[in-house]
Amino acid sequence: MVAPALLIYLVFVIYPLIRGAFVSLYQWDGLTPTMTWMGLRNYVDALQDPVFRLALRNTFQYAIGVTIAKNILGLGLALLLNKKLKLRAFFRTAAFLPVMFSFVVVGVLWSWIFNPLFGLADHLLALAGISSPPGWLSDPSIALWSVMWVDVWKWTGFHMVLFLAALQAVPQDLYDAAAVDGAGSWARLWHVTIPSIRPVIALSVLLSLTGAFVANYDVVYVMTGGGPLNSTQVALTYIVQTTFTSDQVGYANAMSMILLVLVAIVGAVQLRLMLGRRNLAHV
């Protein structure tokens, strides 16, 4: 039953991974059949490349920032919309709706919102009395934060759904017992809710963290293209640029392998810290 899915996984994931590791040891433009052996030189050059190091730093800032924001906002929305509220189904749908849009659509939409000539963001600031709005996508100091906000806006609803499902599985008896013991709202949150949904929190953090590392190309490319002055350049945009603009396929694959190792290490450490050795075996 799993053979078709396994075959697709082998063809489109495992084989390209092995092929990429092989090509990373060569100098190759991706078009000619000639490949020059480089060994580990591509890796050494990548680690010494100042733009790639900047892209890695931006990638880590992007991944950590959006992971924290998405999970805090997602949990907050889940706690709020798990209560009996009027129009609760409407608000749940509205919060999840951005997840349905592609990153290209979302990137174009927010590029218009951040536009300095007709953008809604500057218009709202003007109504609030702020006459000198920031350059959302043109100021190197805040451009990456603007792009990160778009990622948070798109995916918070997804994490809200995960937390909602987890919250609805927490036995009411635990809350009743905590209330009898005199526990307030915050005490019930920290000592009942959080421990009960800890595996889901770990899963949500892992999904958001790894996703932010390896699925941030679309929104960055559409909104800024890595600019201004490489301030929003992340590893994926620089890898694609190196591949198709500079025709250095081997070098780009070496950077991809470095990113893969870093993401694997971060994901393993995150799971180990959040779940511990006992729970990790059941994930």
Q: Give the number of other CB atoms < 10 A from CB of residue 81.
A: 18
Give the integer Cα–Cα distance in Å for 166 and 19.
40
CB-neighbour burial class of residue 160 (10 A; exposed 0-12, middle 13-18, buried 19+)? buried
pTM: 0.88
Taking a C-beta distance cutoff of 8 angstroms, is the pair 59, 216 a contact?
A: yes
Side-chain-side CA neighbours of residue 233 (13 Å): 17
120 HSE (CA, 13 A, CB side): 5
State both tokens at 127. 């109504």
Closest CA to 192 of 174, 176, 177, 180: 174
Give the pLDDT confidence score for residue 33 in this predicted structure.
87
Burial of 246 (0-12, 13-18, 19+ CB in 10 A): exposed
Cα angle for residues 55, 61, 65 (degrees, 5° grid): 150
The C-alpha angle 155, 157, 158, rounded to 5 degrees, equals 70
The pLDDT value recorded for residue 276 is 64
Assign domain 50-280 to a CATH class.
mainly alpha
Spell out the per-residue pLDDT of the chain, length 283, in tens.
899 999 999 999 899 999 999 999 999 988 888 899 998 999 999 999 999 999 999 999 999 999 999 999 999 999 999 888 888 889 999 999 999 998 889 999 999 999 988 889 999 998 888 878 888 999 999 999 999 999 999 999 999 999 999 999 888 888 888 888 888 888 888 888 899 998 899 889 988 988 888 888 999 999 999 989 999 999 999 999 999 888 899 999 999 999 999 988 988 887 787 766 555 545 5
Position 36: which residue type?
T
What is the C-alpha end-to-end distance of the chain, expressed in Å? 22
Report the sign of the C-alpha dihedral through residues 273, 274, 278, 281, in that order: negative
- Enumerate the domain spans of the chain: 50-280
Q: Is 226 left (phi over 0), alpha (psi -120 to 50) or beta?
A: left
Contact 72, 160 (CB under 8 A): no
Instruction: Provide the 8-state DSSP code for 257.
Output: H
CA triple 117-121-122, angle to 5 deg: 50
Instruction: Output the pLDDT for position 118.
Output: 87
CA angle at 74 for the pair 140 and 54, rounded to the nearest 5° = 25
Residue 125's SS3 state is helix
Nearest by Cα to 138 from 127, 129, 148, 146: 146
